[in-house]
């Protein structure tokens, strides 16, 4: 009987301790910007459990969100380490350029983090 109670306790801890995934009560939001100009409709790729740049291959990222016309993005998540990689087009330049860049972010329980994803020419 004690083994069953202990097993149920361990399983409940594993289920209730979510980390490094979307959902949750924390939020990350901000703008994607190139030289302080917002990048409308940029894509922000999200890599879970990452403190360093995982690379330009967007297939290795775990999820993505789209910025709005004002370059603003947001998502809900659980505590953990995430890497945000922005990808978009700067139409303010005569010939539109692809702009990319990223930043790590550490999220604690119930955080509300505002962070700019700075991008530059690829």
What is the three-class DSSP state of 85? strand
Place of tokens 């004002």: 70
pLDDT tens across 62-116, in order?
999 999 999 999 999 999 999 999 999 999 887 889 999 999 999 999 999 999 9
- Residue 5 DSSP class: H
Pick the CATH number of 20-121 from 2.70.98.10, 2.60.40.10, 3.30.360.10, 1.20.1050.10: 2.60.40.10
Q: What is the tens place of the pLDDT at every residue in 18-43?
A: 788 899 999 999 999 999 999 999 99
How high is the pLDDT of residue 122?
76
| b/e per residue 85-101 (b: at least 16 CB within 10 A) | bbbbbbeeeeeebebbb
């Amino acid at each position: 009987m004690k083994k069953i109670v202990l097993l149920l306790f361990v399983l409940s801890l594993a289920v209730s301790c979510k980390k490094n995934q979307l959902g949750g009560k924390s939020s990350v939001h901000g703008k994607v910007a190139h030289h302080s100009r917002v990048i409308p409709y940029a894509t922000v790729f999200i890599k879970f459990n990452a403190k360093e740049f995982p690379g330009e291959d967007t297939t290795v990222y775990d999820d993505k969100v789209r910025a709005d016309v004002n370059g603003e993005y947001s998502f809900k998540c659980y505590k953990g380490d995430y890497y945000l990689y922005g990808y978009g087009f700067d139409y303010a330049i005569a010939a539109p350029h692809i702009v990319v860049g990223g930043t790590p972010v550490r999220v604690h329980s119930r955080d509300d983090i505002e962070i700019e994803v700075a991008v530059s020419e690829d």
